[in-house]
Structure 1
Amino acid sequence: MRIKLFALVAFSILNFSCTDEDDTQIVVEEPQLIIKFKFDPTQIRLNNLGQPSTVSAGNAAQSPMFNSISAHYLEFTPNALTQVGQGAVLYSGPSTTLGGANAIDFSQAIVVGEGEAFLSIPLKNLPQGSYEYVRVSLSYQNYNINVRASGTDYVGTIASFVGYNNYITTHTVSGNPFVVNDDKLQGYWAFAIPSVGYTTSGQSTGVTTVPNPIAATSPIPSGSCLVTGKFANNFVVTGNETKNVEVQLSLSINNSFEWHEVNVDGKFEPAAGENVVDMGLRGLIPSFRVIN
């Protein structure tokens, strides 16, 4: 009996040990490519061709305080001759035809603040090679601006849709709902002053600036907001990466909100008939760093 009992205990220990060893799994995390945004009011202000630009005569502008942003498309391109779509397309957001034409589906958009991860994908998904430029199609901006009405200054929040076409159900600005349920072309905006409960929306009749310093060799589609920027040093993928890499997309918001002046005082006064002429971002500088 004692021999049988000993054998039973020994078998149980052996069985437990084998089971414990089989259940142990070593998880090896793949190195990731992480994309983040930065908003810089001091970064050089560019025009559509990527050249330094000043505020047009008769207009005024301010650098808004950004809350969040979204993009619909992200591509790394090898050089200035690479045409749109022929580089490494890392992200293409959801689209829909619910509003009739093909449009960005805002209900599925990734909206992030400064320093938050917009995208995280395995580095192995990026083809091996050397990349000189980044192209990002911005679709949505949410920021605070200074507004004057009846001699009083307020802080308002604006939602600016700069994608080529946007299908919007209901979106909110500072907690205020705007019901759309339709397509809105590039330039649609909604505005709220929370302190006084004021809300309004409209469509910009101006031109959205989209800086592209390689427009001569690699133009962007008309009506898109595909901002192009150059790495200081090429982003090289060898296929042997073992650590995460963070890419920062620094966007110039240097006087990026521009309007036509009626009262020449540098104050945005919608009630005086001052209309927005530009809500585009004023340049892109991409950079990268290796992180653990």
Structure 2
Amino acid sequence: MKHAYVFPGQGAQFSGMGKALYEGHTRARDMFEQANNLLGFRITDIMFGGTDEDLKQTRVTQPAIFLHSVICYTTLESPRPDMVAGHSLGEFSALVAAGALSFADGLSLVAARATAMQKACEISASTMAAVLALDDAKVEEICAAVTAELGETVVPANYNCPGQLVISGSVRAVEVACERLKAAGAKRALVLPVGGAFHSPLMEPARAELSAAIERTTFAAPSCPIYQNVTAAAETDPSVIKRNLEAQLTGAVRWTQSVEAMVRDGATHFTEVGPGKVLQGLVAKIAKGVITDGFQ
């Protein structure tokens, strides 16, 4: 019986996030103030009192979720994890929790990631769409066909759980793929209100920029295996972890496969650390019978 800790990604933010941690824990307050200094603006003011629109700014959203997750983790008195994983952005939180990255280095990389992704989003019109109740292989097949026919990118981006896959690419290619996916039997194929094709080849400019920052950063061996998005396999080698992290922006988030691998390796209890309860729901759909809970 092993205990896995998982960390959420973008979309889990909410107004007031982290305020209780700031007010209830001296260590948490010190870390939040350190983050304000490192970022060069008071992100706590936006997290604690900003509007939903304020929190949707990429430069705010990603550091805010990272801070909430990592600082929450430092306040826990429960047993240390036997393994960790994070969904997209959450992988950085997981790496800090496992000791592979320092808090300051993790925050710096997340800030660099947010900036790089925003720049990439401005280069071309791109988006994402959620596909429900269609076999993964069929989604992959249709995306490949649309890409070949149009000469524009659309790829599977997030394997969230069985029957829930997010695709990513140019606006035109995603729209065409959605029509074909619905014709093929998808219950829904809904374009999402996002301004970028995350986890697709269209994020290559961001990947190159973030890779340079990752290469300048010191990584240590984690205290437990981390199941990374691009491989869905247990990793402990810092050089491999860095390489996989660099590939994450243009590669798919293999969340379904990661949870399945963790269960095969003995995980029976999954704890989500950070804002929201999305991952608890996904884990419950992927692995029937495991224990799920969360801290935020």
TM-score under structure 1 length normalisation: 0.22
